[in-house]
Structure 1
Amino acid sequence: MSFLMDNWILASVTLASGGLLAFEMFRGGRGDELSPQDAVQQINRHKAVVLDVCNPEEFAQGHIVGSRNVPLDQIKGHKQLPSKKDQPVVVVCQAGIRARKAASVLRAEGYTQVNVLAGGLRAWREAQFPVER
């Protein structure tokens, strides 16, 4: 007990960092996010399907080459979803918020390899990767 009293700052920092770690684990963390570079590897090496969950107007303004437009509000059971539940999927939107919601829906539907493009299409463009209209 005297160690804790003598080193209360160390004990406080240890407890705080442990609490933050536990919070991230329970919140789900961001372990399912891919950088644009990692997404390219998933697409090229593992034939990942890219699902763009933006609305059709946003999709028409620019999207990842070869991506499928499946708006977030239509994602459950959409005909453009991969038929194989173990097929790698990269979900993208403009900034990543809708993509995370869509990824949760896909996991609930039984898809096992679902990732989100961190930073969304903005990050993709910042990395200077191609988009098409």
Structure 2
Amino acid sequence: MEENKAVESVKDAAESAKDAVESAVKNVGDSANKVGESAKKALHNVVGDVIPSQPPLAPQSDAHQLKSRLEWGEPAFTILDVRDRTIYNEGHIMGSMPMPINELVDRATPTLAKSRDIYVYGGNDEETSQAAQALRSAGFHHVSVLQGGLAAWKAVGGPTEGIVES
């Protein structure tokens, strides 16, 4: 009987120790989560104060706005030239991607995020507007027509490249 009491006492002590360990593990985990959340909030506050969030992209932009974004090194936008590839090769906005209007949606859909800021320009205002509308219809949320296209870009001193431009 004494032996049974001793065994029961050891079992109770073991169970109590197990409960204490489980409780300690839970408390440490909860504390770690709280510290992690606090760190995330602190980082967000610092980054939020240093790097302001971008205003929504307007349906139309002028060359000054785009040049300003480039000069400030703002991330996460793409410039699409929807003119014919031969014309693109002659001269285009430095860093723009060639996507002829007849291939635009098929090429943009698998390569660009739907939430990415996209500036579009073509050979004329009608072509540019058609390209922007095609992208919007394909589900791209932030598409802006670059008013005046390449000519406006050159007028503000924006960098260009290509066979004729060099």
1:40 maps to what in 2? 67
Q: TM-score, normalised by structure 1?
A: 0.70
Whole-angstrom CA distance in 2 between matches of 1:105 and 1:116: 12
Q: TM-score, normalised by structure 2?
A: 0.57
Whole-angstrom CA distance in 1 between matches of 2:110 and 2:120: 11
Q: Does 1:51 align with 2:85?
A: no
1:131 maps to what in 2? 160
Contact 1:95 1:121 in 2 (8 A): no
Number of aligned residue pairs? 103
Cα deviation, 1:86-112, whole Å, max 9, x if unaligned, reads 000000113332111000000000000
Whole-angstrom CA distance in 1 between matches of 2:141 and 2:69: 14
Q: Does 1:119 align with 2:119?
A: no
Whole-angstrom CA distance in 1 between matches of 2:157 and 2:118: 21
Contact 1:53 1:92 in 2 (8 A): yes
Q: Percentage identity across aligned positions? A: 25
Of Structure 1 and Structure 2, the greater helix share is in 2
2:3 maps to what in 1? none
Q: Which amino acid is 1:114 matched to?
A: V
Q: Does 1:99 align with 2:137?
A: no
Q: Which amino acid is 2:142 matched to?
A: Q
Cα deviation, 1:61-90, whole Å, max 9, x if unaligned, reads 100111110001111221586431000000
Whole-angstrom CA distance in 2 between matches of 1:58 and 1:65: 14
What is the root-mean-square deviation in Å for CA atoms of aligned residues? 1.9
1:71 maps to what in 2? 100
Larger radius of gyration: 2
1:13 maps to what in 2? none
Whole-angstrom CA distance in 1 between matches of 2:80 and 2:152: 16
Between stretches 59-68 and 75-84, larger displacement belongs to 75-84
1:118 CA drift (Å): 0.3
Contact 2:77 2:118 in 1 (8 A): yes
Q: Which amino acid is 2:104 matched to?
A: I
Q: Which amino acid is 1:110 matched to?
A: G
